[in-house]
């Protein structure tokens, strides 16, 4: 080949690409319009629907995920009439995902690159996420906005399902709101949520199906105030029993004094074995105090209160030879008061004196009923209240404050008696209003001769000397006793004997 011909061929070859490119240059088609993007709640797949490109000779549509202005191809649908696609990627369960679509036109010459359209408008999926506020017992469902183009969003419907039941509408908000609050819920319940954007013209776009288990500290279903009982050291012991199914172990104890007072917190307590115990040593036991226990959740909020309990204040008044006792009714067992019982201590410890009706708040004791049982320097009483019919099978018992009075230490000595006449004056003995600790009685004639002598309080003189009646006349007596309060009393006097023979 001569050089001239070779150079002509080289020149022709060098111009070929430009000439070929001009022959196969692709006319860029118009993009389709993406109309709907909606998540299938159960599968998490995303449905895309678009209006076809108005351009002719479209061979396929390319599906892209779209992020930060860049499209990442997902799939190509080789169907010029295709207008929908199901994205099987389930990323929509975890976030909002945007999509775009492009139309594709084949090249004029096989083997050469085809011609895609510009990307369509982008539409994003709705990602719904619930959150729980256990402190205020609220659920908030939040979501991102769905684009109002090409279909305008009219409003959002919030759908819910409880424990796998059918979805129903929990609420509806306007298109400019992206959250919905549910102001109450049931503990340990499965809630499912779907948010639906309602579009102008009747279409819609649904979100992922979100899940929430309302797991939180289970509060007690009940707290029983077992008792408020007064101790011998003038403190008040309190006991509360807590529902064993409770997951809350923190409590606050509140007290108010008098029916018109206000409750204030006096202690932060913890339960042990479903029981809360406390001794109130900063209290006036001579006034009625009311107590209640509240279960405190992690938000430091009291979520349930016990019934009230109150101490019993016992009062004592002496009226002549009568001891009048009065007290307030115990409040407020979940059961009922079965009875009150009165206990007395005359020197040898408390023992039950009487069983009283549940409606009683008054009781009177004659001093002569107890005076010979008194061996101490005080006579003390307390009331015990008993509960029955408690719904949780708890038998409450509450003791009142103790009230005491000093014995009436009287000594009466007759000055005349008539031996052998069969009357109540047939024997001589001093009359005491108490049982003495020590006792000594001696009777003598005027010359000092001892006629009768004893250390036994119960022994009386029958008016004889060595078994023979003593002549009528006047005798001398001397008495020395130690009272239950420890007082030593000495008395002397005369007794006139009148024989009735």
Q: Which residues pair with 199 in a beta bridge?
A: 153
Q: Which residues pair with 159 in a beta bridge?
A: 169, 194
Each residue's pLDDT tens digit, 454-477 = 999 989 998 888 888 888 889 999
Same domain for 188 and 237? Answer: no
More confident residue, 467 or 53: 53
Each residue's pLDDT tens digit, 294-333 = 999 888 888 899 999 999 999 999 998 899 999 999 988 9
Is the predicted pLDDT of residue 38 greater than 70, yes or no?
Answer: yes
Same domain for 205 and 78? Answer: no
Other beta carbons within 10 angstroms of residue 353's beta carbon come to 17
Closest CA relative to residue 282, chosen from 226, 332, 233, 225? 233
CATH of the domain at 192: 2.60.40.10
**Is 467 in contact with 428 (CB distance < 8 Å)?**
no
Instruction: Give a yes or no: residue 424 inside a domain.
Output: yes
Q: Which residues contact 450 (CB under 8 A, 6 or more apart)?
A: 442, 443, 444
CA 91, distance to chain mean position in Å, is 42
State which H helix or E strand residue 237 sits in.
Answer: strand 236-242
Which pLDDT belongs to residue 263? 95
Which pLDDT belongs to residue 9? 32
Same domain for 180 and 230? Answer: no
**Cα–Cα distance, 212 to 192 (Å, whole number):** 6
Same domain for 365 and 419? Answer: no
Ramachandran region, residue 207 (left: φ > 0; alpha: ψ -120 to 50; beta: rest)? beta
**Cα–Cα distance, 16 to 4 (Å, whole number):** 19
Question: Could you say which of 347, 380, 405 is where a domain stops?
Answer: 405
Among 164-178, 210-224, 243-257, 414-428, the least confident range? 414-428
Same domain for 199 and 331? Answer: no
Backbone angles phi, psi at 346, to 5 degrees: -100, 10
379-394 average pLDDT score: 96
Which pLDDT belongs to residue 15? 35
Closest CA relative to residue 374, chosen from 440, 323, 314? 323
53-64 average pLDDT score: 96
Is the predicted pLDDT of residue 420 greater than 80, yes or no?
Answer: no
Same domain for 236 and 375? Answer: yes
Measured CA to CA in angstroms, residue 462 lies from 139, 240, 415, 435, 441 at distances of 96, 64, 14, 21, 14
Q: Among 8-12, 14-18, 278-282, 372-376, name the most confident range.
A: 278-282
Which pLDDT belongs to residue 16? 34
Question: Could you say which of 390, 405, 420 is where a domain stops?
Answer: 405
SS3 readout for 438-500: EEEEEEECCCCCEEEEECCCCCCECCEECCEECCCEEEEEEEEEECCCCCEEEEEEEEEECCC
Instruction: Give a yes or no: residue 318 inside a domain.
Output: yes
Instruction: Give a yes or no: residue 7 inside a domain.
Output: no
Same domain for 187 and 84? Answer: no
Torsion over CA: 314, 318, 324, 326 (sign): negative
Instruction: Give a yes or no: residue 190 inside a domain.
Output: yes
**Cα–Cα distance, 158 to 171 (Å, whole number):** 5
Encode 188-207: b = buried (16+ Cβ within 10 Å), e = exposed: eeebbbbbbbbbeeeebbbb
**Cα–Cα distance, 246 to 220 (Å, whole number):** 4
Q: How many domains does one find in the chain?
A: 4
Sheet holding 275-280, edge to edge: 223-230, 236-242, 275-280
CATH of the domain at 459: 2.60.40
Same domain for 198 and 250? Answer: no
Instruction: Give a yes or no: residue 394 inside a domain.
Output: yes
State the residue range of the domain holding 458. Answer: 411-497
Q: Which residues pair with 156 in a beta bridge?
A: 173, 197
Other beta carbons within 10 angstroms of residue 272's beta carbon come to 10
Instruction: Give a yes or no: residue 365 inside a domain.
Output: yes
Closest CA relative to residue 219, chosen from 188, 197, 246? 246
Same domain for 240 and 325? Answer: yes
Name the band, by pLDDT with cuts 50, 70 and 90, for residue 421.
Answer: low
Instruction: Give a yes or no: residue 320 inside a domain.
Output: yes
Which pLDDT belongs to residue 230? 97
Is the predicted pLDDT of residue 425 greater than 80, yes or no?
Answer: no
Same domain for 256 and 399? Answer: yes
Which pLDDT belongs to residue 11? 32
Instruction: Give a yes or no: residue 5 inside a domain.
Output: no
Each residue's pLDDT tens digit, 167-219 = 999 999 999 999 999 998 998 899 999 999 999 999 999 999 999 999 878 88
Which pLDDT belongs to residue 417? 86
Same domain for 335 and 313? Answer: yes
* Rounded percentage of the chain residues whose pLDDT exceeds 70: 93
Question: Could you say which of 352, 375, 405 is where a domain stops?
Answer: 405
Same domain for 386 and 254? Answer: yes
Is the predicted pLDDT of residue 21 greater than 70, yes or no?
Answer: no
Q: Rounded to the nearest 5 degrees, what angle is found at the Cα of 311, between the Cα atoms of 307 and 316?
A: 150
């Amino acid at each position: 080949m001569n050089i001239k011909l070779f150079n002509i061929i080289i020149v022709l070859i060098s111009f070929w690409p430009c000439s070929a490119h001009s022959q196969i240059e692709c006319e860029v088609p118009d993009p389709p319009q993406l109309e709907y993007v909606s998540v299938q709640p159960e599968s998490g797949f995303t449905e895309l629907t678009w209006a076809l490109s108005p351009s002719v000779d479209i061979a396929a549509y390319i599906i892209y995920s779209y992020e930060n202005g860049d499209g990442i191809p997902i799939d190509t649908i080789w169907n010029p009439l295709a207008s929908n696609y199901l994205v099987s990627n389930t990323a929509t369960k975890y976030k909002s995902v945007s999509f775009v679509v492009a139309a594709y036109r084949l090249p004029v010459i096989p083997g050469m690159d085809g011609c895609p359209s510009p990307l369509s408008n982008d539409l994003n999926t709705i990602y719904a996420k619930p959150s729980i506020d256990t402190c205020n017992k609220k659920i908030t469902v939040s979501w991102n906005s769905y684009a109002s183009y090409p279909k305008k969003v009219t409003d959002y419907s919030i759908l819910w399902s409880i424990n796998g039941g059918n979805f129903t509408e929990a609420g509806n908000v306007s298109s400019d709101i992206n959250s919905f609050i549910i102001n109450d819920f049931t503990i340990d319940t499965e809630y499912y949520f779907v948010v639906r954007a309602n579009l102008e013209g009747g279409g819609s776009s649904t979100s992922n199906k979100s899940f929430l288990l309302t797991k939180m500290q289970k509060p007690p279903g009940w707290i029983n105030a077992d008792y408020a009982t007064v101790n011998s050291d003038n403190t008040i012991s309190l006991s509360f029993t807590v529902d064993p199914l409770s997951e809350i172990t923190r409590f606050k104890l509140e007290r108010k004094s008098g029916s018109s007072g206000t409750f204030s917190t006096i202690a932060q307590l913890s339960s042990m074995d479903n029981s809360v115990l406390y001794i109130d040593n900063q209290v006036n036991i001579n006034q009625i105090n009311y107590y209640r226990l509240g279960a405190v959740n992690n938000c430091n909020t009291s979520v349930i209160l016990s019934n009230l309990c109150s101490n019993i204040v016992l009062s004592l008044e002496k009226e002549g030879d009568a001891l009048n006792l009065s007290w307030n009714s115990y409040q407020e067992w979940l059961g009922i008061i079965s009875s009150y019982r009165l206990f007395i201590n005359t020197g040898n410890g408390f023992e039950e004196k009487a069983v009283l009706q549940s409606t009683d708040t008054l009781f009177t004791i004659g001093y002569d009923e107890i005076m010979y049982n008194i061996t101490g320097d005080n006579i003390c009483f307390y009331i015990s209240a008993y509960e029955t019919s408690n719904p949780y099978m708890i038998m409450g018992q509450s003791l009142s404050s103790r009230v005491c009075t000093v014995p009436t230490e009287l000594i009466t000595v007759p000055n005349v008696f008539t031996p052998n006449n069969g009357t109540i004056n047939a024997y001589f003995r001093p009359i005491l209003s108490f049982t003495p600790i020590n006792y000594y009685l001696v009777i003598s004639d005027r010359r000092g001769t001892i006629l009768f002598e004893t250390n036994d309080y119960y022994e009386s003189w029958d008016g004889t000397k060595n078994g023979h009646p003593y002549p009528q006349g006047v005798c001398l007596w001397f008495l020395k006793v130690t009272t239950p309060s420890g007082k030593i009393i000495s008395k002397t006097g005369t007794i006139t004997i009148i024989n009735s023979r």
